[in-house]
């Protein structure tokens, strides 16, 4: 062992010290291989070097024994409670099974030290494309090999694309529900950035960062906050203290900073409400077309919590959200950001209606309080079919009773609503689809009664714009 922590040219601990190819080739402590050139090649991934770093031969019993001894030493001597295990995808699963569960392995020694919940979480930087589960399947393999927790990279990549880059909130909804269908989602470590990637705040606004933090603190898992996030760091590996890299000669640890207090408040919220840690997640509203409404509930024991966000840069209307509550039951706020901290009763069908400010967060809990709700005698029907395909300018028609006028709202964009006149119970609206992207769109109507004080929202209508494309030219690039 290098007891003096003095830099050396080669490892000093046996058998890792046997790393001279000429003298120690036959001991096979290392794979004497070149650098990985093809990460899709399993043999290269497990047996080749990474960036010139010697690759241990983890099939060798001497190596396995030495690694067990080294890691369990820290359990015996330092009273530690868990390991973060880096780059687990570059070591065969057979090693992890033996290292963790084998004789004199990590769990055996941890158990002897009274640590029955010893944490082992692996880092497997894998991703899933939208509405696919490739990454989750890889992570599942490491749970099967003995890890009892894993960093949730698929969720990290999705939340960054939605909350930082403005991708559809439906992508994040799929990811949130998929993770709990594969494994115990309370054993996944959630994070918004780390030391190997661009800081979330680099290229994103403060409100987006706050939404991302609110997200990881209101979903099951183990939130991980990379140091400096609570101080607004933009540089990935900038130091916290004055003598370090990119510190600007300043100490940055500040318990009164805006983000420090914001993160502390979220941690307190999570501690006070077990549903945020252990609840079954149900996605209630999301936008398949871009940034906008994202709502989910978490239910655990007798607690039901609703988390509602608007990821867009303008106001959005949330209507027809199925709450699962009784008529008039009140949802009370327990945390808000950029949102009114007010209570909302659900309507006679148990649906929630609220207007969400730009880049806002509303966290509410189902209470035992009830309020009376009244609905005007208004009926409104649009002649649209679910998932109806529309390929050109289209006239939407319908009927109404007890209504004087209406407004049509596309994709919950309340600021861009347009007026519709109702005459003799009939109405029509000519929709110029040239202003819209191809794909799925939602249509909602706000309908006014005899006075503007009386109004209802229609049901949600979902259509698909199937806009034909015309190839104008195709040119090859000589390079």
Give the CATH number of the domain where residue 426 resides.
2.60.40.10
Residues 64 and 197 in one domain: yes
Residues 292 and 399 in one domain: no
Report how many domains make up the chain.
3
- With a cut of 70, say whether residue 283 has pLDDT above it: yes
The reported pLDDT for the residue numbered 227 is 97
Residue range of the domain that includes 320: 281-370
Query: Strands of 394-401's sheet, edge to edge?
Result: 379-382, 394-401, 426-431
Asked if residue 14 belongs to a domain, the reply is: no
Residues 270 and 285 in one domain: no
Residues 305 and 181 in one domain: no
Q: What is the CATH number of the domain that holds 295?
A: 2.60.40.1180
The reported pLDDT for the residue numbered 467 is 83
Sign of the alpha-carbon dihedral angle for 309, 313, 318, 321: negative
Q: What is the CATH number of the domain that holds 72?
A: 3.20.20.80
Last residue of a domain, one of 277, 292, 322: 277
Euclidean distance between the first and the last CA atom of the chain, given in angstroms as a whole number: 55
Residues 269 and 287 in one domain: no
The reported pLDDT for the residue numbered 451 is 84
Mean pLDDT of 113-123: 97
Asked if residue 9 belongs to a domain, the reply is: no
Better pLDDT: 2 or 380: 380
pLDDT tens figures, 218-277: 999 999 999 999 999 999 999 999 989 989 999 999 999 999 999 999 999 999 999 999
Residues 127 and 147 in one domain: yes
The reported pLDDT for the residue numbered 285 is 98
Asked if residue 336 belongs to a domain, the reply is: yes
- With a cut of 70, say whether residue 1 has pLDDT above it: no
pLDDT tens figures, 199-221: 999 999 999 999 999 999 999 99
- Give the whole-angstrom CA distance, residue 239 versus residue 227: 9
The reported pLDDT for the residue numbered 450 is 86
Local confidence band at 452 (pLDDT 50, 70, 90 cut-offs): confident
Residues 246 and 297 in one domain: no
Residues 198 and 212 in one domain: yes
pTM: 0.93
Residues 171 and 293 in one domain: no
Residues 68 and 186 in one domain: yes
pLDDT tens figures, 171-209: 999 999 999 999 999 999 999 999 999 999 999 999 999
Residues 309 and 358 in one domain: yes
Asked if residue 206 belongs to a domain, the reply is: yes
Q: What pairing do the DSSP bridges indicate for beta strands 222-224 and 188-191?
A: parallel
Local confidence band at 373 (pLDDT 50, 70, 90 cut-offs): very high
Last residue of a domain, one of 303, 337, 370: 370
Query: Strands of 360-370's sheet, edge to edge?
Result: 280-285, 293-300, 303-310, 360-370, 329-337, 344-345
Local confidence band at 2 (pLDDT 50, 70, 90 cut-offs): low
- With a cut of 80, say whether residue 4 has pLDDT above it: no
pLDDT tens figures, 353-367: 999 999 999 999 999
Residues 269 and 297 in one domain: no
């Amino acid at each position: 062992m290098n007891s003096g922590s003095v830099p050396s040219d080669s490892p000093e601990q046996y058998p890792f010290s046997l790393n001279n190819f000429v003298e120690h080739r036959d001991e096979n402590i290392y794979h004497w291989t070149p650098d990985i050139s093809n990460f899709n090649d399993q043999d290269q991934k497990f047996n080749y070097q990474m960036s010139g770093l010697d690759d241990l031969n983890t099939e060798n019993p001497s190596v396995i024994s030495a690694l067990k001894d080294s890691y369990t030493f820290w359990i015996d001597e330092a009273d530690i409670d868990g390991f973060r295990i880096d780059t687990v995808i570059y070591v065969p699963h057979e090693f992890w099974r033996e290292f963790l569960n084998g004789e004199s392995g990590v769990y055996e020694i941890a158990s002897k030290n009274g640590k029955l919940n010893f944490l082992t979480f692996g880092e497997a930087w894998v991703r899933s494309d939208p509405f696919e589960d490739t990454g989750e399947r890889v992570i599942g393999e490491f749970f099967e090999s003995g890890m009892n927790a894993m960093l949730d990279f698929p969720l990290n990549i999705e939340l960054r694309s939605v909350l930082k880059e403005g991708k559809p909130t439906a992508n994040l909804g799929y990811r949130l529900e998929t993770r709990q269908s594969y494994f115990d989602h309370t054993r996944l470590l959630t994070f918004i950035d780390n030391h190997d990637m661009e800081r979330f705040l680099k290229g994103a606004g403060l409100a987006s960062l706050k939404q991302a933090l609110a997200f990881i603190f209101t979903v099951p898992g183990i939130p991980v906050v990379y140091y400096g996030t609570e101080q607004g760091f933009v540089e990935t590996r900038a130091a916290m203290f004055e003598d370090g890299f990119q510190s600007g000669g300043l100490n940055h640890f500040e318990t009164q900073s805006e983000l420090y207090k914001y993160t502390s408040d979220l941690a307190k919220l999570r501690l006070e409400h077990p549903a945020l840690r252990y609840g079954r997640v149900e996605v209630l509203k999301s936008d398949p077309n871009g940034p906008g409404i994202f709502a989910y509930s978490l239910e655990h024991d007798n607690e039901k919590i609703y988390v509602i966000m608007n990821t867009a840069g303008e106001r959005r209307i949330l209507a027809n959200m199925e709450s699962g509550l009784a008529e008039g039951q009140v949802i009370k706020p327990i945390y808000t950001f950029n949102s009114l901290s007010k209570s909302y009763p659900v309507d006679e069908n148990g649906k929630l209606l609220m207007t969400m400010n730009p880049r806002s967060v509303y966290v509410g809990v189902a209470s035992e309080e009830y309020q009376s709700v009244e609905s005007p005698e208004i009926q409104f029907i649009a002649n649209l079919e679910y998932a109806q395909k529309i390929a050109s300018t289209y006239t939407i028609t319908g009927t109404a009773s007890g209504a004087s006028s209406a407004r049509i709202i596309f994709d919950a964009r309340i600021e861009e609503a347009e007026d519709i006149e109702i005459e003799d119970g009939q109405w029509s609206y000519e929709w110029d689809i040239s202003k819209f992207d191809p794909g799925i769109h939602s249509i909602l109507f706000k309908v006014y009664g005899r006075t503007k004080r009386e109004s209802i929202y229609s049901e949600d209508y979902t259509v698909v714009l199937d806009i034909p494309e015309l190839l104008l030219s195709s040119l090859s690039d000589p390079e």
